């Protein structure tokens, strides 16, 4: 059976690549989601040229025209959220509810930035010189290169593409090779519903080493925004700095969730289960280190184990599935490696961590809770990125805070407590970019700034009105009337 090829969109045309990618359903590896074109470096450069040529045309559109385009895109995404969510779940393995939720978020993000396009303002300052006016304005950067990971295949592209276009930039977008389907569907909506002039938006699917590299090194790409692993992000950052390009990096996490003795046990268990295992633990903001005070430790572990027994890991599209499969064989191998390594270093599995057989052949792993771990263990230092959480026992709040902050990452952190004193202290002293009290470390609002500290992020914040910092450049003008 031949499958239709989903093509790249370059300079206003749908084009085949030099090669093609077979997108496989991780819930059922016999199910081919689709064939997707893969570009080479030359095609990536064509897309960059087109975006470079189109930039003045797009910048000169009125804010209202750009806002209307984003609004139409958002409207179509929301109208088709069920279909887009189903595609997402099929290719990435999130449950259908999670897939539809993510598609909905993508639509909302476009709606939000449709409003932001109209709100971009400047500042007027008093001058120190008589008769001189000082104006501070924000202008589009030019061509924005966008590189995204596989774990949020529609929401992350949306939260980068929408502000880029809203503020008058043109775009070259390279999604993750593993999950091009949702990115392709989003791109098809953007070019059609958005009715964008040729070159304003370009989709270039393909390998990071070819397409991504062309974007990172081209002098025509003024700013690069990347979400993905820390190793890749750092390489991209260095290469952007070498040529003086603006760069924004969102990378890995090793997010702590502290459970204090005074926590509401039921709430703490829900927060931990959600943060550690939902979306198959494949969230940069997932809670991978559960730091539990000694007085509640045994009750907490027992209650989590009990709740885990009721979680159903199965086909992402099946009714009743709580946890979908791991997204790929490589990610599954990585999860199993860290589980085995934690055992070798003295940890013990309290529940899960087993390969599961289901009706279809897929990458099924039961969520794993590892107890008796300490913070120096490899499983607590490095990002696993799967349904794997480890428990670290601590004696008091001070030790909990110290352990939570003892990591090279700093994306998200959380605490479960009924104490205002400890909640306030944790919010002040956690070294993460996002701090949660009695809510999961994963799960954020689309209108609030998103990003981390230390090894997790570099550059200005994403999302909300804070996004304008990356997608615009500040100009100061002085006028003698
Ligand atoms: P990855 O680094 O392997 O790939 C990310 C993207 O970079 C892909 O599109 C890939 O093709 C591209 N790429 C790879 N090598 C490249 C190169 N040399 N030049 C240019 N581009 C290149 O990451 P992944 O496995 O897709 O995603 C998982 C990672 O993403 C995890 O570490 C996770 O924590 C992180 N993540 C972070 C956030 C955040 O906001 N901090 C959000 C989601 C995911």
Residues 448-466 have pLDDT tens digits of 999 999 999 999 999 999 9
- The DSSP string of 301-339 is HHHHHHHHHTPPB--TTSTT-SB---S-HHHHHHHHHHH
d(CA 367, CA 282): 11
Cα 232 to middle of ligand 1, angstroms: 6
pLDDT in tens, 466-476: 999 999 999 99
Cα 79 to middle of ligand 1, angstroms: 29
For the cut 60, the answer to whether the pLDDT of residue 1 exceeds it is no
Atom of ligand 1 nearest to the CA of 457: 41
Residue 466 near residue 118 (C-beta atoms within 8 A): no
- Atom 12, ligand 1: which residue's CA is nearest? 208
For the cut 70, the answer to whether the pLDDT of residue 18 exceeds it is yes
- Choosing from 91, 98, 250, 462, the catalytic residue is 250
pLDDT in tens, 73-104: 999 999 999 999 999 999 999 999 999 999 99
Closest CA to 216 of 194, 200, 238: 238
pLDDT in tens, 22-47: 999 999 999 999 999 999 999 999 99
- The DSSP string of 264-294 is -HHHHHHHHHHHHHGGGG--TT-EEEEEEEH
Q: Check if 151 has its Cβ closer than 6 Å to any atom of ligand 1.
A: yes
Q: Report the pLDDT value the prediction gives residue 371, as an integer from 0 to 100.
A: 98
Helix pair angle (63-79, 81-92), 10° resolution: 70
Enumerate the H helices of 328-467 as residue ranges.
329-344, 378-381, 397-405, 420-429
Residue 147 CB-density burial (10 A; 0-12 exposed, 13-18 middle, 19+ buried): buried
Q: Check if 410 has its Cβ closer than 6 Å to any atom of ligand 1.
A: no
Q: Report the pLDDT value the prediction gives residue 3, as an integer from 0 to 100.
A: 74
Q: Check if 150 has its Cβ closer than 6 Å to any atom of ligand 1.
A: yes
Closest CA to 279 of 183, 414, 452, 150: 150
Mean pLDDT of the region 146-167? 98
Average pLDDT of the residues of the chain: 97
Q: Check if 153 has its Cβ closer than 6 Å to any atom of ligand 1.
A: no
DSSP-derived secondary structure letter, 148: -
Residue 146 near residue 174 (C-beta atoms within 8 A): yes
Q: Check if 30 has its Cβ closer than 6 Å to any atom of ligand 1.
A: no
pLDDT in tens, 205-233: 999 999 999 999 999 999 999 999 999 99
d(CA 245, CA 238): 10
Residue 109: in which H helix or E strand, if any? helix 96-119
Q: Check if 351 has its Cβ closer than 6 Å to any atom of ligand 1.
A: no
pLDDT in tens, 436-452: 999 999 999 999 999 99
Q: Report the pLDDT value the prediction gives residue 2, as an integer from 0 to 100.
A: 55
Mean pLDDT of the region 410-415? 98
d(CA 397, CA 36): 51
Question: Catalytic residue at 416?
Answer: no
- Tell me the C-alpha to C-alpha distance, in Å, between residue 298 and each of 301, 311, 416: 5, 20, 16
Question: Catalytic residue at 284?
Answer: yes
- Atom 16, ligand 1: which residue's CA is nearest? 208
Cα 224 to middle of ligand 1, angstroms: 13
Looking at the chain, the whole-number percentage of residues with pLDDT higher than 70 is: 100
Q: How confident is the model at residue 481 (pLDDT cuts 50, 70, 90)?
A: confident
């Amino acid at each position: 059976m031949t499958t239709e090829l989903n093509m790249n969109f370059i300079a206003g045309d749908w084009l085949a690549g030099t090669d093609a990618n077979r997108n496989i359903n991780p819930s059922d590896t016999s199910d081919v989601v689709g064939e997707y074109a893969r570009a080479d470096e030359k095609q990536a450069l064509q897309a960059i040229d087109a975006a470079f040529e189109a930039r003045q045309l797009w910048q000169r559109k009125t804010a209202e025209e750009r806002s209307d385009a984003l609004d139409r895109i958002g409207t179509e995404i929301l109208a088709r959220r069920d279909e887009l969510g189903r595609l997402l779940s099929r290719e990435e393995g999130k449950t259908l509810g999670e897939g539809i939720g993510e598609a909905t978020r993508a639509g909302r993000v476009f709606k939000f930035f449709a409003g932001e396009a109209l709100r971009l303002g400047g500042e007027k300052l008093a001058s120190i010189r008589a008769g001189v006016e000082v104006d501070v304005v924000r202008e589009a950067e030019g061509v924005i290169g966008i590189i995204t990971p596989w774990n949020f295949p529609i929401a992350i592209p949306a939260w980068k593409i929408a502000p880029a276009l809203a503020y008058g930039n043109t775009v070259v977008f390279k999604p993750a090779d593993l999950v091009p389907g949702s990115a392709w569907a989003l791109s098809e909506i953007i070019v059609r519903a958005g009715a964008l002039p040729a070159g304003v938006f370009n989709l270039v699917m393909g390998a990071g080493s070819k397409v991504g590299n062309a974007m990172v090194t081209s002098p025509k790409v003024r700013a690069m925004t990347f979400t993905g692993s820390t190793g890749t992000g750092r390489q991209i950052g260095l290469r952007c700095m070498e040529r003086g390009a603006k760069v924004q990096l969102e990378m890995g996490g090793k997010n702590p969730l502290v459970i204090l003795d005074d926590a509401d046990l039921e709430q703490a268990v829900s927060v931990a289960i959600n943060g550690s295992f939902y979306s198959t633990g494949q969230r940069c903001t997932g809670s991978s280190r559960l730091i539990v005070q000694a007085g509640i430790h045994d009750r907490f572990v027992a209650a989590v184990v009990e709740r885990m027994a009721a979680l159903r890991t199965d086909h992402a599209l099946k009714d009743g599935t709580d946890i979908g499969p791991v997204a790929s064989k490589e990610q599954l191998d990585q999860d199993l490696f860290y589980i085995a390594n934690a055992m070798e270093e003295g940890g013990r599995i309290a529940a899960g961590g087993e390969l599961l057989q289901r009706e279809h052949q897929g990458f099924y792993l039961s969520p794993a809770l590892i107890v008796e771990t300490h913070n120096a263990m490899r499983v607590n230092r490095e990002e696993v990125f799967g349904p794997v959480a480890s428990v670290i026992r601590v004696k008091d709040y001070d030790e909990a805070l110290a352990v939570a902050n003892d990591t090279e990452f700093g994306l998200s952190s959380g605490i479960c407590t009924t104490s205002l004193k400890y909640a306030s202290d944790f919010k002040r002293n956690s070294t993460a970019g996002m701090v949660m009290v009695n809510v999961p470390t994963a799960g954020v609002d689309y209108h609030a700034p998103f990003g981390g500290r230390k090894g997790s992020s570099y550059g200005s914040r994403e999302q909300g009105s804070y996004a304008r910092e990356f997608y615009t450049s500040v100009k100061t003008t002085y006028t003698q009337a």
